Structure 1
Amino acid sequence: MAPDSERLSDVVSRRKFLVSSASAGAVGLAGCLSNNEQSSDGNSNDGNGDDGSNDDSTAESGGAGDLAGDIRISGSSTVYPVAQEVSRRFQDPEFEGHEQVSFNLTRDGSGGGFENVFIPGDSDMNNASRPIKDEELQRCRDNGIEPVQFFLAQDALTVVVNNDADWLDSISLEDLGTIWSPDTEPETWADVNSDWPDEPFDLYGPASTSGTYDYFTETVIGETEADQPIRSDFEGTEEDNLIAQGVQGNEYALGYLPFAYYVNNTDQVKALSLVEDGSDPVEPSLEGAKSGNYPLARPLFTYGHMGKIQEKTHLQEFIRYYINQSDEDYIAEDIGYVPANDQMVEDNLANLDAAIAGDYEFSR
């Protein structure tokens, strides 16, 4: 299969991108990661708002006047827990004037959110666990939408096996690629490594609408000769907790999911350390994601609709709040991602101000 025109390796150099972003400021990674409860219905944030009005106000947040209107956020299930928590905090009663802002959050996948919600103009923001693709950008512009990029956090995409798989603690990216490639499709673990059990694979991962799927197939599998990017005999879902549950149910299962969903399921599955080009195994961690030393470290984004940002004061104020919250310790401690640093916050605020003024133009 021919590679996408916007191969992620051409969009960003993953290691250089993460390391340069992380070096601009320190973020707090100390403290234990809690089993933060996450909604599994994927439909809304605490029952707030469906399609509602686009009512606006001229008020600034923080008590200068009431903000009113709905905010629709589509896209990535990876970024969903961050958007869910930030929107919950934005509606906290301590923020006088936010009570009439409601949210509709869904987990459609990065690609599914762009395709079915954001590009048609039905959402204000689209979360993404990979950069927007060239064809998505063009379709946005064909529909009169300029997507405004905000780099929010960093993830350590995690490969997991069953807790009873005591025969495996680490795996190479090469072996992962062999297992998941449609060109090879080994039937048993022993087909890949004779020291592994002669038992068939039970594979779990994100659906093809997911940015995590895009990132994994690009980074781990790469180009294929088949007319598909990944083998088809796996259970795909936009519900990342279901990946953990599936792996938990079979000793010979294998899956991959965002780090935030792993740390909330450590009693169900075991994370594998990864080997790249013969290096020592590196376990998934926030420190590894921040430094870029972990082989599957990746950036996380949200994209705003510039026209709607210009029109809706309540959306402007929420995005400003979202950006300023992205460097808070709870992003690491309660959710499981590397928070933004000072430079990322500054860059995001500059993008927001340019969007409000109508001067923003997306570029790689």
Structure 2
Amino acid sequence: MKKWKYVSLTAVLGSALLLGACAGTSNEEAENSGNSAQQKENGEGQITGSVMGDGSSTVAPITEALVEEYAAVQPNVQVSVGVSGTGGGFEKFIAGETDFSNASRDIKEEEAAALKDAGIEYTKFEIAYDGITVVVNSENDWATDLTIDQLKKIWIEDGTKKKWSDIDPSWPDEEIVYYAPGTDSGTFDYFDEIILDGEDLVRSAQLSEDDNVIVQGVVSDKNAIGFFGYAYYLENKDKLKAVSVNGVEPTNETIENGEYIPLSRSLYVFVNDGKVKENKAFFDFMKFSLENAGDMAEAVGYVRLPDEKYEEGLKRLEELK
């Protein structure tokens, strides 16, 4: 397989990610993907078809890496993945428009009920761990370690124009500038549940489903603060600072062992059970994904699950077949 190392995340944040066939791979790549060069020459194990997904921009970098690797193994399968945010992805999943839906949070009760009403049975697969990372401008040398209470005071709307000095009198008497994921984002939903406790996010926040917009916003203003998935911080760590939360810095280790609480979370792919059964290409892509999700998660900056969790996922997928 290709040696991925914090691949660029920008390309996956357009209206859709469309990766088809990649002609010609090395014998080593083919072997690593479970197909020998001779098998490919003879056309053995090759399938055709199409697969459609949508959903979380946080999960998108993992999917992008998987789709590119899969195209080298099954060049006649077209995998198309949109990036509408977790909520937007579930809307398409409920409408039957997609085979799978990427999500950076668990499914909501109303979404599960809508799927039931639509007659769609589904299965949830956990694919990686993430830590929502709060970031500030690289020139910010005051708000480098925040408590949960301080995060609440910063982010919850209270009818005032907040300054850093309102959070701590020793901090600058400058107005805070906010950047955050859009309301269709699972990252927004998770932050809302854990930090906002259902209260309104500050109304002055600039919202975007494109995490790179948040990066650029924070980079451009020394009084800015934002949050997004851990991988986006790793890709941009030379431009901005990650904030420690309750004294704990987000790292692969602290995210995996649960020390980075309460902002550690799981990332998911939800699949349409019926489409797994009727679409050989979809089953094959999901099998490939679960076999390689750990490596791809690490490659793009997230944290892999224990191997047994991927094995459990593969068993559930086989049962769906």
TM over 0.5: yes
Aligned to 2:188: 213
Could you tell me how far apart the structure 1 residues matched to 2:155 and 2:183 are?
A: 14
Aligned to 1:8: none
Aligned to 1:197: 172
Deviation at 1:343, TM superposition (A): 1.8
Worse-matched range after superposition: 66-75 or 79-88: 66-75
Aligned to 2:238: 267
Is 2:278 the counterpart of 1:317?
Answer: no
Q: What is the SS of the residue equivalent to 1:266?
A: coil
Aligned to 2:16: 44
Q: What is the SS of the residue equivalent to 2:58?
A: coil
* Among 298, 303, 312, the residue aligned to 1:347: 312
Aligned to 2:49: 69
CA offsets 1:294-353 (integer angstroms, 9 cap, x no match): 02111000000111111100100110110010232x422x21111122221122112212
Q: What is the SS of the residue equivalent to 1:256?
A: strand
CA offsets 1:195-238 (integer angstroms, 9 cap, x no match): 111111110010000000000011011143xxxx3222211111
Could you tell me how far apart the structure 2 residues matched to 1:44 and 1:103 are?
A: 11
In structure 2, relative to structure 1, the CA distance for the partners of 1:259 and 1:214 (3 Å cut) is: same
Is 2:77 the counterpart of 1:101?
Answer: yes
Number of residue-to-residue matches in the alignment: 297
Aligned to 1:231: 202
In structure 2, relative to structure 1, the CA distance for the partners of 1:185 and 1:154 (3 Å cut) is: farther
CA offsets 1:225-258 (integer angstroms, 9 cap, x no match): xxxx322221111111111110001010000010
Is 2:89 the counterpart of 1:113?
Answer: yes
Aligned to 1:254: 225
Could you tell me how far apart the structure 2 residues matched to 1:122 and 1:193 are?
A: 49
Aligned to 2:24: none
Could you tell me how far apart the structure 2 residues matched to 1:35 and 1:340 are?
A: 18
Could you tell me how far apart the structure 1 residues matched to 2:290 and 2:45 are?
A: 21
Q: What is the RMSD of the two structures over their aligned residues, measured on CA atoms?
A: 1.8
| Unaligned stretches of 5+ residues in structure 1 | 1-32, 50-60, 276-280, 357-364
Aligned to 2:255: 289
Is 2:79 the counterpart of 1:136?
Answer: no
Aligned to 1:306: 273
Aligned to 1:125: 100
| Unaligned stretches of 5+ residues in structure 2 | 22-33
Q: What is the SS of the residue equivalent to 1:243?
A: helix
Aligned to 1:164: 139
Q: What is the SS of the residue equivalent to 1:326?
A: helix
TM-score, structure 1 length as denominator?
A: 0.78
Q: Identity over the aligned pairs, expressed in percent?
A: 33
Q: What code does the residue aligned with 2:17 have? A: N
Q: Contact conserved, 1:155 with 1:300, CA < 8 A, in 2?
A: yes
In structure 2, relative to structure 1, the CA distance for the partners of 1:198 and 1:40 (3 Å cut) is: farther
Q: What code does the residue aligned with 1:346 have? A: E
TM-score, structure 2 length as denominator?
A: 0.88
Q: Contact conserved, 1:34 with 1:264, CA < 8 A, in 2?
A: no
Could you tell me how far apart the structure 1 residues matched to 2:12 and 2:171 are?
A: 34
Deviation at 1:45, TM superposition (A): 3.1
Q: Contact conserved, 1:179 with 1:186, CA < 8 A, in 2?
A: no
Q: Contact conserved, 2:13 with 2:57, CA < 8 A, in 1?
A: no
Could you tell me how far apart the structure 2 residues matched to 1:260 and 1:315 are?
A: 26
Q: Contact conserved, 2:129 with 2:265, CA < 8 A, in 1?
A: yes
Is 2:66 the counterpart of 1:86?
Answer: yes
Deviation at 1:41, TM superposition (A): 4.3
Q: What is the SS of the residue equivalent to 2:204?
A: coil
Could you tell me how far apart the structure 2 residues matched to 1:84 and 1:200 are?
A: 38
* Among 177, 182, 187, the residue aligned to 2:162: 187
Q: Contact conserved, 1:40 with 1:239, CA < 8 A, in 2?
A: no
Q: Contact conserved, 1:110 with 1:210, CA < 8 A, in 2?
A: yes
Q: What code does the residue aligned with 1:80 have? A: A
Could you tell me how far apart the structure 1 residues matched to 2:227 and 2:13 are?
A: 20
Q: What code does the residue aligned with 1:255 have? A: G
Worse-matched range after superposition: 310-319 or 177-186: 177-186
In structure 2, relative to structure 1, the CA distance for the partners of 1:40 and 1:321 (3 Å cut) is: closer
